[in-house]
């Protein structure tokens, strides 16, 4: 699994493409592998020009994902923690691009976090509602806003104790990191795009009770905190017509 690697192995594109790791997702022209670098878990994404997939523009897809990650990290949100990146020149015959992401300890996908803190489910969802509202107000839509793409962390182990130390409200005790943002969109977060994100979130969870809370507790807080919703728009009606961006289960 890439044991014994250092970050120096990723100083060049050739070096990054020579690394072996645990294959997690392999497609023609792109791959995701798990590697251990300096004793820590990392995820390496690589994209290359594949003659049989030339019209799928995998390299452009990788560069676009990096732009979405940078936008999140530069605008007060959290995307994957990129520790190395690189690409070949602009027009080589063998165009390649890569980025290396460090896993952040103690972060769990949304549903796993909700199960881990059963007495704080409403608190967690209210915090996520505030985060999603701020994200959409800023013009970002994930377009695959499933629970496994929302990593929960921060003070999640002891949110109440953290609140006492920081003198914050309970919803401020949670942090959220968005991953797999290759389909993300930055611009004007239209109501239909925002509704599709929330429909995807509800469809992605396996627990019926959690899904019910997303359509009640979460949704109420989300609507209340959206600053850019026109006052005469029935967002619940728009959400009722929205379709998840992918199938689940």
Pull the structure tokens for residue 104. Answer: 């952040």
Domain ranges of the chain: 7-102, 108-241
- The reply to whether 108-241 shares the fold of 7-102 is no
Domain at 108-241, CATH class: mainly alpha
Task: Give the total residue count for the chain.
Answer: 249
Task: Give the model's pLDDT for residue 50.
Answer: 75
Whole-angstrom CA distances from 53 to 56, 58, 94, 136 are 5, 8, 13, 33
Pull the structure tokens for residue 166. Answer: 């920081």
Task: Give the model's pLDDT for residue 89.
Answer: 74
pLDDT in tens, the chain (249 residues): 556 799 999 999 999 999 999 998 777 788 999 999 999 999 999 999 877 655 558 888 899 999 999 999 999 999 999 999 999 876 655 689 999 999 999 999 999 999 998 889 999 999 999 999 999 999 999 999 999 999 999 754 554 444 333 334 445 689 999 999 999 999 977 899 999 999 999 999 999 999 999 999 999 999 999 999 988 999 999 999 999 998 886
Residue 238 DSSP SS3: helix
Q: What kind of fold does domain 7-102 have according to CATH?
A: Phosphorylase Kinase; domain 1 (3.30.200)
What phi, psi does 35 have (nearest 5°)? Answer: -135, 155
Kind and range of the H or E run holding 101 = strand 96-102
């Amino acid at each position: 699994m890439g044991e014994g690697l250092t970050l120096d192995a990723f100083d060049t594109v050739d070096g990054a493409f020579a690394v072996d790791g645990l294959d997690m997702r392999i497609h023609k022209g792109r791959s995701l592998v798990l590697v251990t670098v300096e004793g820590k878990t990392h995820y390496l994404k690589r994209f290359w020009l594949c003659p049989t997939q030339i019209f799928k523009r995998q390299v452009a897809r990788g560069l676009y994902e990096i732009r979405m990650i940078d936008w999140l990290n530069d605008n007060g949100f959290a995307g994957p923690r990129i520790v190395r990146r690189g690409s070949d020149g602009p027009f080589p015959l063998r165009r390649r691009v890569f980025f290396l992401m460090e896993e952040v300890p103690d972060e769990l996908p949304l549903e796993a976090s909700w199960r881990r803190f059963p007495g704080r489910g409403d608190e967690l969802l209210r915090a996520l509602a505030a985060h999603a509202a701020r994200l959409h107000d800023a013009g970002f839509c994930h377009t695959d806003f499933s629970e496994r793409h929302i990593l929960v962390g921060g003070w999640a182990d002891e949110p109440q104790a953290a609140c006492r130390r920081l003198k914050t409200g309970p919803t401020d005790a949670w942090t959220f990191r968005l991953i797999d943002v290759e389909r993300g969109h930055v611009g004007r977060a239209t109501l239909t795009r925002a509704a599709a994100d929330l429909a995807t979130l509800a469809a992605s969870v396996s627990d019926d009770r959690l899904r019910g809370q997303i359509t009640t507790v979460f949704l109420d807080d989300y609507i209340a905190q959206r600053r850019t919703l026109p006052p005469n728009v029935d967002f619940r009606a728009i959400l009722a017509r929205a379709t998840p961006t992918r199938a689940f289960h």
